[in-house]
Every structure is written in C-alpha cells, then in structure tokens.
Amino acid sequence: MSEFTEAAPPHASFDTVLVLDMGSQTSHLILRRLRSLGVYSEMLPCTQKIKELGWKPVGIVLSGGPSSVYESDAPTVDPEVFELGVPVLGVCFGNQVIAYRVNPSNVAAGKVREYGETPLTIRKVGNHGDRLFDGLGETLNVVMSHFDKVVSLPEGFEIIATTQNSEFAGIAHKTLPVFGIQFHPEISHTERGTDILANFAIKICGAKADWKMDNFCEKEIIRIRNLVGDKAQVIGAVSGGVDSTVAAKLMKEAIGDRFHAILVDTGLMRLNECEQVKETLDKHLGINLTVVDGSELFFSRLAGVTEPEAKRKIIGGTFIDLFEIEALRIEKEAENTDRAGPVEWFLQGTLYADIVESLSFKGGASSTIKSHHNAGGLPARMQNGEAQLKLLEPLRELFKDEVRAFGRQLKIHEELIGRHPFPGPGLGIRILGEVTRERVNIVRQADHIFISMIREAGIYDEV
C-alpha cells in the first residue's frame, strides 16, 4: 500500500524553529534565512494544533500575511503557541496577531500605508528584550509592507524599535520570550535581517547551528537503510535533473544495487535528452538504469486536454502507471537470484519547495496556483495509500541550494549539480492548449536554440 513516509524526519535529530504561515508570499524566505544560518526550520499552516504536532520546536515564528486581524475570517494561531514555553517571534501580521491577542484595541488600520525601505531606530530596554537586536547598532534600514499596525503598546510589553510611522515597530514582553516586529527580516533589502533571525534562533531560542549537509547525509543514509530493510527493492524516477540525480545517488549509497533507476521517455523531453541523460548517469553514477519509452501512452492520454492542471495530473498519473509495470518486471527478473525481493518503494526527488508550492494556507491565496508535479501531480491512489508502491522522498525537507550542497557532499560531478532546473512534465507545461507532437517539436527546437546560445556565450551557469 502506498503511503508518504515520515519516519525520523530532521526535526527528530536537529533543533528546529517552526514557522507558522499566516499567508505571506515570503514565509518560505524565513526558512531559507534560518537554514542558511545552520538552524533547521520547518513551515506549517497557522491552523496547526500544537497538541497534534508530535514534536516540540525550540522556537516559533509567526509569519506575515495579507489579512487584517480584526476581520472575522482572519487567520490566527492556536493559543497553545504561547503556552508551549518556547520563544515566539511575530513578523508583520504575526506581530499584530500577538498584540491583538492581548487586547483587540491594540491593532487598527493605519493612516499611512508603509511599503518599502524605512529607517528603524532601536531602543535599549535593559533586559532580555535587547537580545533581538543585540550587536546591530542603533539604526537599520528595514523593509515594511503593511497598512494595519499596532497602535497601542500591549500590556506587559516594551518598545524595542520604532519608525516614523510605526511607534511600535518592535516590541518585546518584559518577562516572557515573546517578540514582535512590524518589518520583514527575511527580505534581502532589510539591513542585518539575517542577523536578527540569528539572534532569535541561536541566542534567544538556543538552537544549535548544526544543520549541515554532511550531518544530514549520514543520518539520511542510516534512515533509508532502516526504512527499506535488507530485502526490499526501490525504483526511482530519474530525469537527469539535479533533484532526481541527487536522490538516485543517495539511494545507491544507501542500498546499492537494490535501487533501480528508471528514465521514462515521455516524448516531452528536450532534444536528445534521453541519450544524454543515460550517458551521463552511466558515466558518473554507475546505477542500474532502465529507459522506458512511454511517449505513445503520454500523447494518447493528453490528446484533446487543454486545461493546465488537468495536463499535470495526467502526466503524473501516467508516470506512476509505468513505474508500477516496471516494478512487476523487476521483481520477476530477480526471482531465484540473490537480488530477489519485493519492489516496495518508489523514489521521488521531491523538495521542500515542491511541498510548499502545492499547498494553500489559510490567509494566503484562496486556491492553488498550480500543483507541483512531484506533490499535487501524483494520482489520488498514490496519495491515499491505494497503490502498490510506498513513496520515498528523502529530499523533501531540502531546498534547491541545499540539494546542490548535498550533491557535492555525495561527490556528484559538477556537470550534474549545475544543470538548469527542468520539470518532470517536460516541455508539455510550456505548451498552451493541447499537447501534440508537432507543438512539442517546435518548443523542443526553440529550447535547443536558446540553451545552445547561452552555452556559446559562456553564461549558462549564470542564468
């Protein structure tokens, strides 16, 4: 039976700062900044119940968001966030949530919309509240993006930063490790923004900055071996892209020849893609690789389909159909050999950004812009536990830059690590309307011309 495997996730091994998403388009940047500091972080929707979390973060960040706290349907957080006994940092809308929780009259619509960079004055209060801006001087240029604002100092709090239009641009509780800032430290144009997050995560929360790919690599190989066991076999989709290549190399390191890589020729690939990928993977990875020609099946199922999300679902479902057929073939061929064992697992190079991209959190966009081919593009039976393969996603906690670093840790050739991202659905998602062979060929030639020109110009690695 298919299932998503969450055994021994990183938060079981690393101090973790939890980001509760209130709908901001930059929530994921908070994670990126924290992880760049070596502090592991995860994001969940603000609707997450703390009792159902199953683990304890070392700190919690409430993200920004486009809503107004005084609206009836405004997103909020579980009150137990503030009863868990860990430091809390509210960012922009998250700051307003903290103030509103103390007293609804603390937040109101502002007289002036405040967008872009603005000077912030830091105030020393002589207690633990000074730790958030410790070592950052007296003034900073920060990025604001708000209309509503805190208009009254919440009871029990002190002012730790101000701007011309926001008297309470930074607040801290006098005795509890609860902080609020009206600006966005995750935005690159905020001066010393990463240092502010470092002060919160490392100095205030006490998180160890040990989230490094060498640590993750060792733990993940052990986790995979324990999860898969001594006999089960794993099949995995490879495309020649960074994600699937790193995932395949990891599986090779973990279980050796019990991993079988499958490259599906969908008919939607770039010029000479299959031949080049096969040659490159054989040369650099030395894995069991099978090429399956599924082009006729893909084109027949896509015939007459014009809606983009429907095309994604068809492509994702067809991939799984072909992999289930290959799983049976591999099992049969391995009978009565020392490789005999069931094919129980399906490997995907899903990343954390894929998961975030496919979700709509309360307070954010009301609908999914597009499902990701690795996440939302999977058929329902794969997500509901009704397929013959269990899903294995060892990279699902990583962002792209972390995957590249992980690949270097695994000593994968830079030629593979530096490849441009190319989605699993291939050229099909670049075509408006029905996907036909003629249209794919046109896009394929255009893509080849473009890639050839930037290679000739010596800027392939820069764009």
**And the tokens for 426?**
């291939």
The DSSP bridge partners found for residue 88 are 60, 178
Q: Which of 186, 324, 344, 393 is catalytic?
A: 186
DSSP string computed for 35-69: HHTT-EEEEEETT--GGGT-S--SEEEE---SS-T
What secondary structure does DSSP assign to 141-170, as a single string?
Answer: EEEEEEEEEE-SPPTTEEEEEE-SS-TTSE
Active-site residue flag, 333: no
170-173, strands of its sheet edge to edge: 40-45, 16-21, 59-62, 88-91, 178-181, 170-173, 157-162, 107-122, 139-150
Q: Is 274 a catalytic residue?
A: no
Phi then psi dihedrals of residue 232, to 5 deg: -65, 150
Indicate the helix (H) or strand (E) that contains 309: helix 308-334
The pair of three-digit structure tokens given for residue 225, joined into one six-digit string:
């071996």
Q: Which residues are annotated as a binding site for ATP?
A: 239-245
Pairing between β-strand 233-237 and β-strand 259-265 as defined by DSSP bridges: parallel
As given in the structure block, the two tokens for residue 333 are 């061929």
Residue 108 zone, left/alpha/beta (φ > 0; ψ -120 to 50; rest): beta
Please identify which of the residues 11, 28, 173, 184 carries the catalytic annotation. Answer: 184
Q: Token pair for residue 152? A: 């009254």
Binding residues: 239-245
Nearest to 435 by CA among 333, 310, 324: 310
Nearest alpha carbon to residue 100 among 77, 118, 122, 84: 77
Residue 92 is a catalytic residue: yes
Nearest to 319 by CA among 396, 393, 425: 425
Number of helical (H) and strand (E) elements in the chain, helices listed first: 13, 14
Tell me which of 28, 46, 92, 324 is the catalytic residue.
92
Q: Nearest to residue 76, comparing CAs of 356, 362, 360, 359?
A: 362
Hey, which residues are catalytic here? 92, 184, 186
